[in-house]
Chain A
Amino acid sequence: NAGVTQTPKFQVLKTGQSMTLQCAQDMNHNSMYWYRQDPGMGLRLIYYSASEGTTDKGEVPNGYNVSRLNKREFSLRLESAAPSQTSVYFCASEGGGQGQETQYFGPGTRLLVL
């Protein structure tokens, strides 16, 4: 049981390049999330998926696209990277119910855009 896995762990991009961050969970959770974490700003939600085939924008969706490929996988794509997208990206999935909904986080992807 690996929980939530993310690839790659680190990435350096040049401005204008594209890349896809991969996330997978093996806990059979319906809900999955993508966050970015910047110093002093806490975590901000980029996109959310309540179930396979559905996605919703979060607080900071501009410059990103997502795909919920199946129940296990939720990918985040940067079509044309900008220096403002330098950040640490976390994927999470959510389990539990009836007030006990708990998010489980992956180890993160550290992205530097030059």
Chain B
Amino acid sequence: KQEVTQIPAALSVPEGENLVLNCSFTDSAIYNLQWFRQDPGKGLTSLLLIQSSQREQTSGRLNASLDKSSGRSTLYIAASQPGDSATYLCAVRPVGDYKLSFGAGTTVTVRA
């Protein structure tokens, strides 16, 4: 069974600092990996999707990398802003499966 872990569970940084969020997974046979953002009391919003054949994806200040062999993905957020405060979840889709396995998330607070 695929296990997805996100450490740390919470992170607080001053505005302007770069954020590094980690996601690890136990089975490297993945189809794709997604990073989501969740604001308090809201649903999830997809940020980036990395296919298994890709090493990274970028969108604006966000960059996500994928290392399947080591079972790791990292989400980088450059020059953090208070508006980046949210919970970030990663989710892995195994090969040949429709189910996503979610991590428990990292809650980020960016202090002004």
B20 within 8 A of A: no
Q: Does B102 contact A (CB under 8 A)?
A: yes
Known: A42-B89, A45-B99, A108-B43. Is A100-B51 also a contact (CB below 8 A)? yes
Contact A40 B104 (CB under 8 A): yes
- Specify the main secondary structure of chain B where it touches its partner: strand
Q: A31-B98, A104-B46 are in contact. List 6 more A-B contacts (CB 8 A).
A: A43-B89, A43-B102, A50-B98, A90-B43, A90-B44, A100-B49
* Chain A-chain B contacts (Cβ-Cβ < 8 Å), number: 55
Is A74 an interface position by the 8 A CB rule?
no
Binding site secondary structure of chain A:
strand
Count chain B residues whose beta carbon lies closer than 8 angstroms to a beta carbon of A. 25
A107 with B43: in contact, given A41-B104, A99-B32, A99-B51 (CB under 8 Å)?
yes
Cβ of A34 within 8 Å of any chain B Cβ, yes or no, is: no
What is the chain A residue whose CB lies nearest that of B104? A42
14 of the cross-chain contacts (CB-CB < 8 Å) are: A42-B104, A43-B100, A45-B99, A58-B99, A59-B99, A99-B32, A99-B51, A100-B51, A101-B93, A102-B34, A105-B44, A107-B42, A107-B43, A108-B41
Which chain B residues have a beta carbon within 8 Å of chain A's beta carbons?
A: 4, 31-32, 34, 36, 41-46, 49, 51-53, 89, 91, 93, 98-100, 102-105
A103 CB-CB contact with B under 8 Å: yes
> A106: CB under 8 A from chain B?
yes
Expressed in whole angstroms, the Cα–Cα distance for A78 and B32 within the complex equals 32
Contact A102 B102 (CB under 8 A): no
Are B32 and A101 interface neighbours, CB within 8 A?
A: yes
State the Cβ distance, B103 to closest chain A Cβ, in Å: 6
Asked if A42 contacts B51 (CB within 8 A), the reply is no
CA distance A48 to B43 in the complex (A): 18
